[in-house]
């Protein structure tokens, strides 16, 4: 996509900051499905953070993470996440890293891209049950999923996005949401089943439109997410980061 188009998307979508089956209709305001920034590291095997070579959200093909989930409704179980590599995002002409998450009751497939501002955005997500696509969600512009680059304490960014959801029965829903992200601590020490990490960055994600939707993430360079707390607790139990 030409930089002029990308720049227009950035100006119109970002408010604050550092700065198959079940496909959704094309967004008439964004027919090519452009990203709200310049993608970086087209080679997913390359370093995510040029300064250290260690990304806070590694997208290297073959990397895997296993989390112990403590859910107030479903109890305790494991979730595995794997970076599958570059793929064309369904219903678009874009290329992104496919990420697969498997839980006992659900499989999620999402497409993610690291941007030059140090964030990782999610373009599309498919929820699958018993091998069948049950829900497809897309965002315009692509919604922030995490940080890939360490940021200073109190760094923050906010965006308002249109979230489109389509269920397997053809039902569609579109909502406007605002998300804010803020670095609330640096050099945190956090202990999870995978070990003790002393250089974690603690990030708060909030949804001002809905109470009780706050999530806190602990991200470690070269490892990724080691802990998440909010609607449920996720703790890293093992991982392999491919080079």
φ and ψ at residue 87, rounded to 5 degrees: -145, 160
pTM given for the model = 0.81
Domain boundaries of the chain, sorted by first residue? 3-240
Q: CA-CA distance, 16 to 87, in Å (whole number)?
A: 30
If pLDDT is split at 50, 70 and 90, which confidence band does 41 have? Answer: very low
If pLDDT is split at 50, 70 and 90, which confidence band does 211 have? Answer: confident
The pLDDT of residue 34 is above 80: no
If pLDDT is split at 50, 70 and 90, which confidence band does 23 have? Answer: very low
The CB density around residue 156, as the number of other CB atoms within 10 Å, is 16
CATH number of 3-240: 2.40.360
Q: CA-CA distance, 238 to 243, in Å (whole number)?
A: 17
Q: CA-CA distance, 162 to 210, in Å (whole number)?
A: 15
Q: What does 94-111 look like in DSSP terms, one character per residue?
A: -EEEEEEEEETTEEEEEE
Q: Which residue has the tokens 């703790």?
A: 235
């Amino acid at each position: 996509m030409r930089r002029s188009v990308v720049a227009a998307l950035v100006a119109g979508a970002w408010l604050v900051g550092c700065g198959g089956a079940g496909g959704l209709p094309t967004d008439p305001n964004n027919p090519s499905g452009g990203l709200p920034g310049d993608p970086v590291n087209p080679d997913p095997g390359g370093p995510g953070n040029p300064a250290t070579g260690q990304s806070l959200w590694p997208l290297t093909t073959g990397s895997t993470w296993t989390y112990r989930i403590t859910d107030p409704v479903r109890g305790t179980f494991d979730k595995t996440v794997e970076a599958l590599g570059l793929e064309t995002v369904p219903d678009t002409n874009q290329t992104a890293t496919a990420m697969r998450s498997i839980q006992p009751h659900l499989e999620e497939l999402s497409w993610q891209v690291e941007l030059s501002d140090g964030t990782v955005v999610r373009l599309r997500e498919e929820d699958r049950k018993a091998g069948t696509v049950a829900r497809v969600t897309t965002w315009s512009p692509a919604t922030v999923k995490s940080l890939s680059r360490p940021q200073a304490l109190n760094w923050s960014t906010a965006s308002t996005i249109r979230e489109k959801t389509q269920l397997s029965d053809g039902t569609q829903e579109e909502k406007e949401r605002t998300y804010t992200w803020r670095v609330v601590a640096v050099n945190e020490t956090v202990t999870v089943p995978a070990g003790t990490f002393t250089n974690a960055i603690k990030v708060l994600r909030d949804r001002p439109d809905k109470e009780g939707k706050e999530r806190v993430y602990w991200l470690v360079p070269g490892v990724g997410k080691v802990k998440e707390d909010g609607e449920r607790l996720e703790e890293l139990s093992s991982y392999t980061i491919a080079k």
